[in-house]
Amino acid sequence: MYRRKFIQNIALLALISPFIKLNASTNKRIVVVGAGIVGTSIAYELSNLGIKTILIDKYKAGSGTSNSSFNWINATYPKKPYSYNYLAQLGIKAFKDIQNELNYDIQWNGSLEWVNSKKSQKELIDEVKKLMQYQTFTKHKIINYKKANILENKLDFRNNINIVYSEEDGVIETNEFIRLLIDRIHFNGSKVLEECEFESIKYTNNTISSIITSKGEIAADQIVFACGIDTNKILNKKLLKSPEPGIIIKSKPYKKIINKIIYGPGIHLYQQNDGRVIIGEQGLLEKNDTNKFLDYPSQFDSKSMQNKYVNKIINVGKTFFNDIKSLDIDEVKIGWRPIPLDEKPIIGRLNYDKNIYIATMHSGITLGPIVGKLVAKELTQNKELSILDSFRPGRFL
């Protein structure tokens, strides 16, 4: 037990000691704006390196998109090209490391994905085969319905012979995860200010000296904007498309029935350790309805519209998961995806002010911890890591 802890600590010291020295000499004050999974992960890694960090959020930490995500950690075929997929693979590895650091239990269930139509099925398998030609990829297998039914005996795979089994995928409870990071940030002596809205940057002699917030001025040498869907507004630039909505349903605890992350035709779902089933949908929201949403609400404003979509989701789901009809629905949320113009992460300093750093992306759950580590390294070592070359904001600015 002691020996294990000792080895863990040695490994940790080896990782952080050079940065502590570096920080002592540069003594930078860094403010991270946005306490979703991305900003909180960055602030956590900075605080681990002994950097005086202040993390602020205009609302409660974790109340943005990270609060209404499907929470799936994966490096599956839609993440392409290789540079993006590789970052996601490192994302899985980073979660494996951080789960030990935080003593946090991640459900590494693996996922099953299939589609109904023959044409889409062929496209799916072609995409997965392309993934399998990368130099590295997470463990994937194509299995038939008989094997899939051994893994999931309550699902109807309809004699499908091409089901994609991605074995290394996991899920987290993102809010709980963010809270744990915040506890550690406090423990490391850094600060988290909630309900503190970034308003503007103050310059002294052409260099950033502070930011102005709704709660007053905060001294800063460098600013990291991890503001999700608010990135365009904050920078007054177009880096992201209009946010894309998705519905997330959480059931009340139900008997254990699902083992894996299920990406079935039309909806996706998994069951948490506490028995709750989490369900997401693929393109069920109608344009007519989404056009009515102003200010990206996290809930439907009428019960009737909410019921309409819950029923739609149940009708789609019952075609392969009959138990969906027996679930008691506890919560229905609308999440808004931050989607960069080319759908790849945006991570790096601005060309016109190197003391401003941007980190915004879809797949922010998968990428949060690895982005936290890499960004903290770039900020403290004042260098650019080549692994992030494809994701720089300069491609849009």
Ligand X SMILES: Cc1cc2nc3c(=O)[nH]c(=O)nc-3n(C[C@H](O)[C@H](O)[C@H](O)COP(=O)(O)OP(=O)(O)OC[C@H]3O[C@@H](n4cnc5c(N)ncnc54)[C@H](O)[C@@H]3O)c2cc1C
Which one among 50, 265, 364, 372 touches ligand X, defined by CB under 6 A? 364
Q: Which of 28, 52, 58, 392 binds ligand X (CB under 6 A)?
A: 58
What would the two tokens of residue 301 be?
């404003």
The residue (of 143 and 224) whose beta carbon lies closer to ligand X is: 224
Give CA–CA dist 205/207, Å, rounded.
5
Which of 164, 248, 267, 370 touches ligand X by CB under 6 A? Answer: 248
Give, as ranges, the residues between 274 and 293 that touch ligand X (CB under 6 A).
280
List % helix, strand, coil for the chain (3-state, nearest 5).
40, 25, 35
Q: How many Cβ atoms from other residues are within 10 Å of residue 197's Cβ?
A: 15
E strand spans, 11-162: 29-33, 52-56, 72-73, 111-113, 140-143
Q: Which is nearer to ligand X, 115 or 279 (CB)?
A: 279
> Which residue is at the shortest CB distance from ligand X?
36
Considering CB under 6 A, how many residues would be counted as binding ligand X?
41
Q: For residue 98, give the 3-state DSSP assignment.
A: helix
Based on the shown chain and the rule CB under 6 A, indicate whether residue 366 belongs to the binding site for ligand X: yes
Cβ closer to ligand X: 50 or 368?
A: 368
Regarding 34 and contact with ligand X (CB under 6 A), the answer is yes
Cα–Cα distance between 139 and 165 in angstroms, integer? 8
Residue (28 or 337) nearer to ligand X, CB: 337
Considering only 2-10, 109-117, 125-133, 224-232, which stretch makes contact with ligand X by CB under 6 A?
A: 224-232
Taking CB under 6 A as the binding criterion, the range among 37-45, 103-111, 113-121, 135-143 that sits at the site for ligand X is 37-45
47, 66, 89, 190: which one contacts ligand X (CB under 6 A)? 66
Applying the rule CB under 6 A, the residues between 336 and 355 that interact with ligand X are 336-338
Among 110, 170, 246, 317, binds ligand X (CB under 6 A): 246
Query: How many CA atoms are closer than 13 Å to the CA of 47, on its beta-carbon side?
Result: 23
Distance CA 270, CA 263 (A): 9
Q: In the complex with ligand X, which residue's Cβ is closer, 124 or 358?
A: 358
Contact between 38 and ligand X per CB under 6 A: yes
Using CB under 6 A as the binding rule, whether residue 298 contacts ligand X is answered as no
For residue 228, state whether it binds ligand X (rule: CB under 6 A).
yes
361 binds ligand X, rule: CB under 6 A:
yes
Question: What sign for the dihedral angle of Cα 39, 41, 43, 45?
Answer: negative
Q: By CB under 6 A, name the one of 32, 43, 54, 72 that touches ligand X.
A: 72
Cβ-contact 75, 93 below 8 angstroms: no
Distance CA 363, CA 338 (A): 9
The angle, 0 to 180 degrees and rounded to 10, between the axes of the packed helices 82-102 and 174-187 is 60
Query: How many CA atoms lie within 13 Å of 106's alpha carbon, on the beta-carbon side?
Result: 26
| Window contacting ligand X (CB under 6 A); options: 10-18, 64-72, 157-165, 309-317 | 64-72
State the DSSP string of 229-244. GGHHHHHTS--B-SPE
Q: Is the peptide bond before 265 cis (omega within 30 degrees of 0)?
A: no
- Which of 223, 360, 379, 380 binds ligand X (CB under 6 A)? It is 360
Q: Is 113 in the site for ligand X (CB under 6 A)?
A: no
Residues that bind ligand X (CB under 6 A): 33-39, 56-59, 63-66, 68-72, 197-198, 226-228, 230, 234, 246, 248, 280, 335-338, 360-366
